[in-house]
Amino acid sequence: MTTCYIGIGSNLGDRRSHIERAIEALRNTPGVIVTRLSSIYETEPVSNTPQGKFLNGVIEIKTSLRPKTLLSKLNAIEDNLGRKRDGINMPRTIDLDILYYGNERIEEEGLIVPHPRIREREFVLKGLRELAPSLIR
């Protein structure tokens, strides 16, 4: 099993409920064990598009799924919770991003790990400081 960190966020509708439902869907995903969750932070959107504030956090999981399969499962959870893919940094019911997948470095079409914008997102850094401070140097 590989330890992974997943960023989670929502800024549309019942944000807390979307996050709770996404975590529950992860718990029900074969090959995924949710081990810990950071605090949830309310944050300003990182966008020029006018939109509401986000609730964000980080989830620690252990998984037997390979990175692309995990990404596919995360995308399916997003789709099931009404995520619309209307562009970058747009409002969304739920956002699930692979931040770290063990110690692997991955650069494939559609998947870069560690996530390339970790250092630009204070809400991700806060969650990672709670769960895995050794990852933030």
Q: Residues with Cβ < 8 Å from 26, sequence gap 6 or more?
A: 6, 32, 34, 59, 61, 77
- Please state the separation of Cα 12 from the chain's center in Å: 16
| Active site amino acids | 83, 92, 95, 97
CB atoms within 10 A of CB 39: 11
Picking from 123, 115, 114, 111, the residue whose alpha carbon sits closest to that of residue 75 is 111
